[in-house]
A and B are shown apart, each in its own frame.
Chain A
Amino acid sequence: MSLKDYIAERKAIRTPLVMTHVVCGYPSFEDNMKELEIMNAHGVDFVELQFPFSEPSADGPLFVKANQESVDSGTTVAQCFDFMAEVTKRFDFKVLMMGYYNTCFKMGHDNFIKRLKEAGGCGYILPDLPIEEADELHALSKQADLTPVILMTPTNTDARLAQLGAASQDLVYCVARKGVTGSKTEMNQEVITFLERCRQATDVALGVGFGVSAKEDIDFIAEYGDIAIIGTAALKAWEVGREEGLHRFFESLGL
């Protein structure tokens, strides 16, 4: 089934769709698996597996710490792909690789696409790879039927959003506010206007992320977007209360 059909099918069950995030190897791969069990039990539709990088310059403090500790504990790219293969075998949700471009560049575009495909991933999110630099990778992705998830941001002009829309397929990642991952976003008129501009620029599903952490955010995204992307808030819940904390957090979101 194509990703587009998958999104349509899941939408018929529940809106918005939900995408969550784990940083591979933080606190450990075993803990990652426990997190994913809970996410699965709460019916998430997508999971981003972040491959840790030593220079996570688009991330906020909690993810920076997670990236760093994972790298320091010796997590390798090979382990992340192995883990992804295990995850995609075990669960029905779709899995995206998330990370920084150097991880992909260093192993070579061909190899990256091949490994991602073999591990059962459906696409990738590389926030530091602008579309101008992505022609080759995007072409290879098309051949392999993998989806590059492009980011749209509130500082983009309409013309730029149209360019980003034209390069997108299946879904885009709408960054709800300026800044790095982590702090809360107030889902207000500004965000509505931004999401309307994104909607104008593309027909694909709108994922909305950065600061999504409460039931109101989910309801907001149900109205103005298609996929709620939950990052730091879930890791925070895990840090505070492990399995029980994460479970309660998803309950509090009404999931």
Chain B
Amino acid sequence: MDLFDFKDGREGYYGQFGGSFLPEILTATVEELKACFHECKKDPSFWAEYEQLMHQYSGRPTPVTYLPNLSKQLGGAQIYVKREDLNHTGSHKINNVMGQGLICQRLGKKRVIAETGAGQHGFATATMAAKFGFDCKIYMGEVDVKRQRPNVFWMENLGAEVVAVQDGQRTLKDAINECMRDWVSNMADTHYVLGTACGPHPFPEMVSYFQSIIGMEANRQIKELTGGRLPDKVFACVGGGSNAMGIFQGFFDDDVELIGCEAGGLGPGLGKHAARLAYSDASVGVAQGFKTFFLQNDDGNMLETQSVAAGLDYIGINPIFAYLWEQGRVRFEAATNEEVRETLKLVMKTEGLIPALESTHAFAKAVEEAPKMGKDEIILINQSGRGDKDIFTVADALDDAHWREFIKEKAAQYES
């Protein structure tokens, strides 16, 4: 399956989804980006350079880990985890960011901007900018700045300027709008490092391309670990859809069931979650530069979204997934905040892994389905990131008294 040859339709379209809906002022900039990316994609030495960079700088290939305790406790399928949390900066976001850093170099641009939700993409972009010597500005919704202060701290100390966006719901979508506003002003010297497989063409294709490194490695690794077998099911969490596209691309041509796990928040109902496909509250629309399923009202205005995981808290879904869902190739499920909290506790205690709250959505659905599967069946979960960034949120969720004590003492120290 080649999703990107656009043989049966218009370039940048996946079925009826995708496209490029941008202000005219960006036409030339996006054309330039498209040309540069496609040149790189055709050039085998570019991928080699990229792999080498990821090997040296981010510790790739990341391993696949078998989870014997959890598998045994659930009594069903054998569970394996692809460890994107072991990347430098702690998530899969760096895969896309370093790739776009190379593109930015080729474009001869000196400044990068990025939106961020959980802060992982902003953190990765600030890291890349420091390494490549780019000026860097990160837009982050004010709500997210408040819930992800540790990542903000690192971004600032890596030399990036972090802007707390005050518009709208003050989350990821508003940060994307602010990036667009910056880009239409500064496109001559600025590359917009979009962080997920959303937005106008070529971003969904380009982000998927760099993230495909996850799936390529995972396909090889799982076979090595299981005597040549492929997983029966692969689970990945889906915010915009980049880590899931990354791992799924390793298995599209195989008889493997692919399950995207969205943010079920407080459960179904308008404004209570960020599940575009798993629940039936979303409809097709055009916003933020592309056509896909959005959580919106009848007038086409976007709804509030809710999730314990800032990185999944987004109104729209990757257009490629909207298409693959329609085709029945990828199944979508949602994990609620409550399921995620319980699953996180389980995974920490049984296996000593600390998945990010985002990634825990994938674990939650795998944990639900594993007991119904045979012992000879195989599950692969993409652990997109590590959870220590979420320490404040997790500590609250677990109502940890010792942590609260520590924070109070720390605050008292600062005040004295």
Q: Is the CB of B22 within 8 A of A155?
A: no
Cα distance A105–B168 when bound, in Å? 21
Once A102-B286, A128-B289, A178-B185 are accepted as A-B contacts, the answer to whether A155 and B29 lie under 8 Å apart by CB is yes
Smallest distance from the beta carbon of A115 to chain B beta carbons, Å? 12
Cα distance A163–B177 when bound, in Å? 27
Q: Is the CB of A58 within 8 A of B23?
A: yes
B187 contact set on A, CB distance < 8 A: 155, 178
Smallest distance from the beta carbon of B148 to chain A beta carbons, Å? 22
By beta carbon, the residue of chain B nearest A51 is B299
Smallest distance from the beta carbon of B95 to chain A beta carbons, Å? 26
Total interface residues in chain A, CB < 8 Å = 41
Question: Does B43 belong to the interface (CB within 8 Å)?
Answer: no
Cα distance A155–B31 when bound, in Å? 12
Q: Is the CB of A105 within 8 A of B286?
A: yes
Q: Which of B28, B173, B285 is the one whose CB lies under 8 Å from A106?
A: B285
A105 contact set on B, CB distance < 8 A: 285-286, 291, 300
Smallest distance from the beta carbon of A59 to chain B beta carbons, Å? 8
Interface string of B338-354 (1 = CB under 8 A from A): 00000000000000000
Most buried by B among A58, A77, A129, A150: A58
Cα distance A127–B24 when bound, in Å? 7
Most buried by A among B287, B296, B299: B299
Interface string of B295-316 (1 = CB under 8 A from A): 0101111100000000000000
Q: Which of B22, B185, B291, B301 is the one whose CB lies under 8 Å from A54?
A: B301
Once A68-B167, A71-B301, A102-B287 are accepted as A-B contacts, the answer to whether A155 and B177 lie under 8 Å apart by CB is no
Q: Which of A54, A55, A152 is the one whose CB lies under 8 Å from B24?
A: A152
By beta carbon, the residue of chain B nearest A65 is B167
By beta carbon, the residue of chain B nearest A53 is B301
Q: Is the CB of B28 within 8 A of A175?
A: no
Cα distance A179–B187 when bound, in Å? 9
B25 contact set on A, CB distance < 8 A: 151, 153-155, 175, 178
B24 contact set on A, CB distance < 8 A: 127, 130, 150-153, 156, 164, 175
Interface string of A41-82 (1 = CB under 8 A from B): 000000000001111111010001100100100001100000
Once A153-B24, A155-B29 are accepted as A-B contacts, the answer to whether A179 and B301 lie under 8 Å apart by CB is no
A151 contact set on B, CB distance < 8 A: 23-25
Once A55-B168, A68-B168, A155-B187 are accepted as A-B contacts, the answer to whether A102 and B23 lie under 8 Å apart by CB is no
Q: Is the CB of A178 within 8 A of B181?
A: no
Q: Is the CB of A128 within 8 A of B185?
A: no
A53 contact set on B, CB distance < 8 A: 300-301
Question: Does A133 belong to the interface (CB within 8 Å)?
Answer: yes
Most buried by B among A57, A100, A152: A57
Smallest distance from the beta carbon of B363 to chain A beta carbons, Å? 32
Smallest distance from the beta carbon of B97 to chain A beta carbons, Å? 22
Cα distance A233–B186 when bound, in Å? 23
Residues 173-226 of B contacting A (Cβ, < 8 Å): 173, 176-177, 180-181, 184-187
B286 contact set on A, CB distance < 8 A: 101-102, 105, 128
Q: Is the CB of A55 within 8 A of B27?
A: no
Question: Does A242 belong to the interface (CB within 8 Å)?
Answer: no
Interface string of A159-197 (1 = CB under 8 A from B): 010001000000000010011100000000000000000
B176 contact set on A, CB distance < 8 A: 57
A155 contact set on B, CB distance < 8 A: 25-29, 187
Smallest distance from the beta carbon of A234 to chain B beta carbons, Å? 21
Cα distance A36–B25 when bound, in Å? 30
By beta carbon, the residue of chain B nearest A76 is B299
B26 contact set on A, CB distance < 8 A: 155
Cα distance A198–B291 when bound, in Å? 30
Question: Does A88 belong to the interface (CB within 8 Å)?
Answer: no
Smallest distance from the beta carbon of A176 to chain B beta carbons, Å? 11
Question: Does A32 belong to the interface (CB within 8 Å)?
Answer: no
Question: Does A143 belong to the interface (CB within 8 Å)?
Answer: no
Q: Is the CB of A133 within 8 A of B28?
A: no
Cα distance A65–B177 when bound, in Å? 13
Question: Does A2 belong to the interface (CB within 8 Å)?
Answer: no
Q: Is the CB of A180 within 8 A of B285?
A: no
Residues 118-137 of A contacting B (Cβ, < 8 Å): 127-130, 132-133
A128 contact set on B, CB distance < 8 A: 21-23, 286, 289
A154 contact set on B, CB distance < 8 A: 25
Question: Does B76 belong to the interface (CB within 8 Å)?
Answer: no
Smallest distance from the beta carbon of A1 to chain B beta carbons, Å? 29
Q: Is the CB of A130 within 8 A of B168?
A: no
Question: Does A103 belong to the interface (CB within 8 Å)?
Answer: yes
Smallest distance from the beta carbon of A226 to chain B beta carbons, Å? 19
Q: What are some 11 contacts across the A-B interface (CB < 8 A)?
A: A58-B23, A58-B180, A71-B301, A100-B287, A102-B296, A106-B300, A107-B299, A127-B24, A130-B20, A155-B187, A180-B181
- Contacts from B to A (Cβ < 8 Å): 19-29, 167-168, 173, 176-177, 180-181, 184-187, 283, 285-289, 291, 296, 298-302
Closest CB pairs A-B (n = 5):
A106-B300, A179-B185, A54-B301, A102-B300, A153-B25
